[in-house]
Structure 1
Amino acid sequence: MGDTKNLSNTEAIEKIQEIARDADICLFATNLTELPISARPMSTQKVDDDGNLWFLSSKSSVHNEEINKDSRVQLFYSHKGSAEYLSVYGEATILVDREIAKDLWSPIVKAWFPEGVDDPELTIIKVAPSDAYYWDTKNNKTVSLLKIIAGAVTGKTMDDGIKGKITV
């Protein structure tokens, strides 16, 4: 079933940074107390040295409205190329700060905010993780698939990588 390696402190933050950077897009879930939960793809602009995840968002978006009602969010990352996965649960804070927006800005964001960092709709979402879990296969997908097939044939559970709780 794979190895378990729980991470904390710097090692935990580095794992969050690595997977979030490489995957870039996450499913950003809000309104966690009602089913179905509300989720949408969002691009992570930055993971800072404290493990906070930063996003740019529209002031009038549904997810901003939902965060204003309940700040608990869950982020789901999947990096298909390296078969790494990350789930982050935390508290979201909505900010309006042009200096932070400049730091997070990239030219592609102009498609959503045509007035740039001065766009009145531009807000920043900071997610402070309180719980996270990762899965990281040691081998590429072809090897993992072969191990799954071998496990099915032999009836033995095959090592499918490393997983663990992340404590920031």
Structure 2
Amino acid sequence: MADLSKFETEPKLQLLKEIKGARCVMLGSPVASEHMQPMAPQIDKQTVKTVEEGGDSVIYFFSDNTSDLGKAIMKNPGARVMATHIGSDYQACVEGAIYPVLNDPTLIERFWNPIAASWYPDGKGDPKMLMLKFVPITAAVWASTGNPFKFAYETAKANITDTLPDVGSSKIIAA
């Protein structure tokens, strides 16, 4: 369940933690005709601490410099793209700028994990590896308690009283 008090008091931090907990998000391309694709966000304790201390969030992704997405970002660094996260009780659509990060061994080491290793047969030095740096700018977020009984009650009440159900909150935030 989404914490609605954090939604009101710490929406930027909650957004980052929700994305950190996601197996993947849908990441857009600078090329409008290309579809979004699932990508695993790389967020660590250091990133969360930066946001807790009032700093900006940054989300990294392992990618491939031979993929359509990788090529598009290499041609248009800093392009604005969208990333979406849909959970059972928290959804977000994040707009931000995306940059290629080339051959940064410290960054690769920081986020290297068995899942990343499975995509790069030549390991941390794989020539196809391309790290992407996504800098969120703004986000539309929605959260609810995820309580199915409250949802059923609110839906029934709305149908009987001709009102809208109260099933959560939404807002636009600076990410």
For the criterion TM > 0.5, the same-fold answer is yes
Q: Deviations over 1:130-156 (max 9, x none)?
A: 111110103424432442233123211
Q: Which residue of 2 aligns with 1:61?
A: 67
- How many residue pairs get aligned? The number is 159
Whether contact under 8 Å (1:110, 1:116) holds in the other structure is yes
Indicate the SS of the match to 1:38: coil
Whether contact under 8 Å (2:7, 2:143) holds in the other structure is no
RMSD, aligned α-carbons: 2.3
Residue 52 of structure 2 corresponds to residue 84 of structure 1:
no
CA distance in 1, matches of 2:149, 2:113: 35
Residue 81 of structure 2 corresponds to residue 73 of structure 1:
yes
Unaligned runs of at least 5 residues, structure 1: none
CA distance in 2, matches of 1:103, 1:7: 31
Aligned AA (2:37): R
Distance 1:67 1:142, change over 3 A: farther
Q: Which residue of 2 aligns with 1:153?
A: 160
CA distance in 2, matches of 1:39, 1:145: 33
Q: Which protein has the bigger strand share?
A: 1
Unaligned runs of at least 5 residues, structure 2: 51-55
Aligned pairs for 1:28-43 within 5 A: 28-31=27-30, 34-35=32-33, 37-43=34-40
Tell which has more relative contact order, 1 or 2 (C-alpha 8 A, sep 6+): 1
* Deviation beyond 3 Å, 4+ runs, structure 1: 5-8
Q: Which protein has the bigger helix share?
A: 2
Indicate the SS of the match to 1:130: strand
Normalised to the residue count of structure 2, the TM-score between the two structures is 0.80
**Percent of aligned positions that are identical:** 21
Normalised to the residue count of structure 1, the TM-score between the two structures is 0.83
